[in-house]
Amino acid sequence: MRTLLSRLAPLALALAGAACQGTNMYTVQDDVAMGAAAFDEVKASENLIYSGPQYEQVQRVTERVVDAAIELDPEISNLFAWEVVLIDNAEMNAFCLPGGKMAVYTGILPVAGNDDGLAVVIGHEIAHATRRHGTQRVTQGVLTEIGIEIFTEAAEFSTDQEERELATILAEVGLGLPFSRDHELEADRVGLFYMAAAGYDPREAVGFWQRMSAGGTGAPPEWLSTHPSDVTRIQKIQALLPEVMPVYQAAQISDS
């Protein structure tokens, strides 16, 4: 029935639009609780390193970049219980759960190279948390499910083959778009400001992503699989540097 589908289409598109605009059905307290619960599981199932120079480096850099995030985005950052663990795993990976619970894999440390390179990773992950990308993604998943159901229901009532196909295409393409590409670019941008405010050289981000790109053989790690192309992200980072460098320079001056 054409009328049913045409009446439901705006609703489904509104859901898709809401998902696009970073709608979040969870509270910040949910972020903290969900992240903490998931972090307990990470700690129970992974091989964690609790001492040594790599552990100290990860703690040192995280502490400084978290301080910068608290300075730049105090409303949200002060509500989180920030924590980072070092996982003994050769994968070039890192992640941040909602609420500020982070993990760095030993495999990414050689790619980071130094504290500035590691600050690129940490800044990016902290930005995912302060921008609440994790629970936004869950929200998008729920909204997408609802949207697909609406279209599927509508398509079942439809007698027109073309309309059924259109419903399927709209459900899959319109609602299932990889929003996380935007999240990745936003995490890059916000993370760059965090690291710069912490006194780490944001120009290091260019080299870091070139090294990640060169080392990226085999299955892409979590944070590359949904990522924009390396060329796009490196270009965007380079375009941001004129804006970010003064933040870095100001942090240098206040340090000395």
Phi, psi at residue 189, to the nearest 5°?
Answer: -65, -50
Min separation Cβ 124 and Zn ion, Å: 6
Residue whose C-alpha is closest to residue 201's, from 241, 150, 154: 241
Binding flag, residue 209, Zn ion (CB under 5 A): no
Cβ-proximal residues to 193 (8 Å cutoff; 6+ apart), any chain: 72, 123, 244, 247
Min separation Cβ 37 and Zn ion, Å: 21
Min separation Cβ 133 and Zn ion, Å: 8
- CB neighbours (10 Å) of residue 186? 16
The residue among 129 and 187 lying less far from Zn ion, judged by its C-beta, is 187
Residue with tokens 């609406």: 150
CB burial of residue 230 (10 Å; 0-12, 13-18, 19+): middle
**Which range of residues in 5-13, 69-77, 222-230, 244-252 is near Zn ion by CB under 5 A?**
222-230
Q: At what angle do helices 2-20 and 133-157 cross, to 10 degrees?
A: 170
Binding flag, residue 223, Zn ion (CB under 5 A): yes
Give the x/- contact pattern for Zn ion in 151-190, rule: CB under 5 A. Answer: ---------------------------------x--x---
The residue among 166 and 185 lying less far from Zn ion, judged by its C-beta, is 185
For residue 93 the two structure tokens come to: 């990976």
Q: Identify the bridge partners of residue 105 per DSSP, sorted by sequence position.
A: 87
Instruction: Give catalytic status of residue 75 as yes or no.
Output: no
- Residue 97 φ/ψ region, left for φ over 0, alpha for ψ in the -120 to 50 degree band, beta for the rest: beta
Give the x/- contact pattern for Zn ion in 18-57, rule: CB under 5 A. Answer: ----------------------------------------
Min separation Cβ 65 and Zn ion, Å: 15
For residue 65 the two structure tokens come to: 């970049």
Catalytic residue among 63, 91, 125, 153: 125
CA torsion sign, 129 to 97 to 121 to 220?
Answer: negative
C-alpha to C-alpha distances, 37 to 33, 43, 154, nearest whole angstrom: 6, 10, 38
Give the residue numbers marked as catalytic. 125
Which residues lie near Zn ion (CB under 5 A)? 184, 187, 223
